[in-house]
Structure 1
């Protein structure tokens, strides 16, 4: 795999349809090991989620009732939730180290999931990005994990298309990437309001439901859909976008934001923007909080950006590479692609290592990686 550009950064990522459960591939101890969960597809087209130790060893594979997307880990618990890809209505909660059946969570009538969610710090509440498609508005579903994921309430997203969200360090404020695109499951994945879409980065108080901040892009960038985001421990948000405007227009695809400041869009030269092909698929921040990874699967690359310097740093080629997650020390990431590759890459050194499990059935990785320690 060839690097497009490598630089040294900053001077110097109710049941599983009741019949099934995890396809257990061996006993696994939960002693300070690191794991990755991702939706994926089998060679026969079956939809799955896979649990992988971060050395590449496959721990388990979970059949899904449809295509999955993102995942969330429940704090202080050995539990992960995988969400359906839009416009899917299911999510599955399961213990990644146990063959016990998963618990199915369904979106309420008139709603579907967008593929992402996040837990409260105590693990009690699951917040899920949802589309209230009958009313054409974004909502945040609130599910009680202690009560078998019963849906207790919902919060206003204050924009259309809340796709992904992160919880800030205060444990109660959500930062929400609202893509601004109106959809309806009767129309499949068709986008219904491209001419009038209004993406937004909103901050919501989960305790009161109040809108704390609402940040919009410049009017001439209203077709730049804010889709995925990552946050540092000191609340700097990095987000990535997908452009729905003219195919020949080059626009920024990465943004940074903090507190009540204005959104900042780091500059990159035309060669970089052209290579990204107007589309970012996922975002992650390394453990140091200094490097943002922004995948560009249509362009066949993963790009890296300085959070402190607010600037483009470099990229590595990865055909159909979309999944990114922090791993290891500063500059360390896990990367995955739609051809079945799982890689460890260090953006500071340029070192890359392929993670394989020869004993496991090959799969094609979907859009997102969730990395966590147990």
Structure 2
């Protein structure tokens, strides 16, 4: 009888269809937002910006990551974070609420392994800002292990295409665990770190000494494995420093603009994306109200203006852009065009699911 019961349960389990992203409406993007009533939500958006689902968050969100096959989104709190919420976007139910171990804080970003079995989270040791990468089993969302990130204050984290290696943006800034006050601006050393599937540092690069206060924050991956990275300048605001860099091993290559265009960004790149549609890279500045577009080799193409623009991702015609005033815009080779107005204040990032 026990064998019959086991076989019956096995048949039932295999007969139950596994939900996919199609069951959640096949969203093209995920984005955190704030409603006019002051509530925080995670939105699933179609390719043209239509809302497919809106799920509540317990506090302000930052970025999100999507499971490669299951319709699970992990929404991360704004750093220093105390929650990462795993949401089944097909059913609208909370699957798990991850809490960092004692003495750790989430730092806004994460990604999945290629097969989706492991969730990686960027974290810091609260008292020192030493970087950690948390590993979580995605079947049970229990903690498996943690690795050193290779630096101070890791933020964005990406898995390289066709690989299990991770790229970490170690921002270099030590912060007060309670109020985010920056503690080491005179001695910060941001870096890019490549970790193997075993958590071993395979490669690492720092910026030149004169740019050591250019915090490496966000990442975009090009098809050949080149890492495009966006920076935020913590030095003298009168210095027009580059905010985009490219790295494929060895010394990073920085991509300056002329002084006038550099000052438009006010030393701050809030997000970055690459689109294969027009083979361009874009960085955004909510402080400057600007989007700067570069060719794949880092040469400048255009500076476009949009108030409080920050979230950006590859879209059907080039890029899709979100801003804090609720507008979703298209950025193409022809320029920037507002496409949809919403009753939301979009947060920092627009995450493409493809």
* Selected match of 1:124 from 103, 117, 135: 117
Q: Take 1:307 and 1:291, find their aligned partners in 2: how far apart are those partners?
A: 5
* Selected match of 1:367 from 336, 348, 354: 348
Task: Give the alignment of 1:150-299 within 5 angstroms.
Answer: 150-186=142-178, 188-206=179-197, 208-258=198-248, 260-288=249-277, 290-299=279-288
Larger Rg: 2
Q: Give the superposition deviation at 1:344.
A: 2.2
User: What does residue 337 of structure 2 align with?
Assistant: 352
Q: Take 1:75 and 1:289, find their aligned partners in 2: how far apart are those partners?
A: 25
Q: Take 1:365 and 1:126, find their aligned partners in 2: how far apart are those partners?
A: 25
Q: Give the superposition deviation at 1:130.
A: 0.1
Q: Take 2:82 and 2:24, find their aligned partners in 1: how far apart are those partners?
A: 34
Task: Give the alignment of 1:58-207 within 5 angstroms.
Answer: 58-147=51-140, 149-186=141-178, 188-206=179-197
Q: Give the conservation status (yes or no) of the 8 Å contact 1:177–1:202.
A: yes
- Displaced runs of 4 or more, over 6 A: none
Unaligned runs of at least 5 residues, structure 2: 1-20
SS of equivalent residue, structure 2 residue 152:
coil
Q: Give the superposition deviation at 1:290.
A: 2.4
Q: TM-score, normalised by structure 2?
A: 0.90
SS of equivalent residue, structure 1 residue 220:
helix
Q: Give the conservation status (yes or no) of the 8 Å contact 2:136–2:145.
A: yes
Q: TM-score, normalised by structure 1?
A: 0.85
User: What does residue 310 of structure 2 align with?
Assistant: 322
Q: Give the conservation status (yes or no) of the 8 Å contact 1:287–1:327.
A: no
Q: Take 2:165 and 2:289, find their aligned partners in 1: how far apart are those partners?
A: 34
Q: Give the conservation status (yes or no) of the 8 Å contact 1:285–1:293.
A: yes
Stretch moving more, 46-55 or 72-81: 46-55
User: Where is the strand percentage greater, Structure 1 or Structure 2?
Assistant: 2
Q: Take 2:240 and 2:335, find their aligned partners in 1: how far apart are those partners?
A: 27
Q: Give the conservation status (yes or no) of the 8 Å contact 1:335–1:343.
A: yes
Q: Give the conservation status (yes or no) of the 8 Å contact 2:24–2:89.
A: no
* Selected match of 1:343 from 329, 337, 340: 329
SS of equivalent residue, structure 2 residue 335:
coil
SS of equivalent residue, structure 2 residue 139:
helix
Distance 1:35 1:219, change over 3 A: same
Q: Give the superposition deviation at 1:65.
A: 1.3
Q: Give the conservation status (yes or no) of the 8 Å contact 2:274–2:313.
A: yes
Q: Give the superposition deviation at 1:169.
A: 2.1
Q: Take 2:63 and 2:353, find their aligned partners in 1: how far apart are those partners?
A: 14
CA-based RMSD: 1.8
Q: Give the superposition deviation at 1:261.
A: 3.0
Q: Take 2:95 and 2:24, find their aligned partners in 1: how far apart are those partners?
A: 22
User: What does residue 7 of structure 1 align with?
Assistant: none
Distance 1:155 1:32, change over 3 A: same
Q: Give the conservation status (yes or no) of the 8 Å contact 1:113–1:129.
A: yes
Aligned length: 334
Q: Give the superposition deviation at 1:353.
A: 4.4
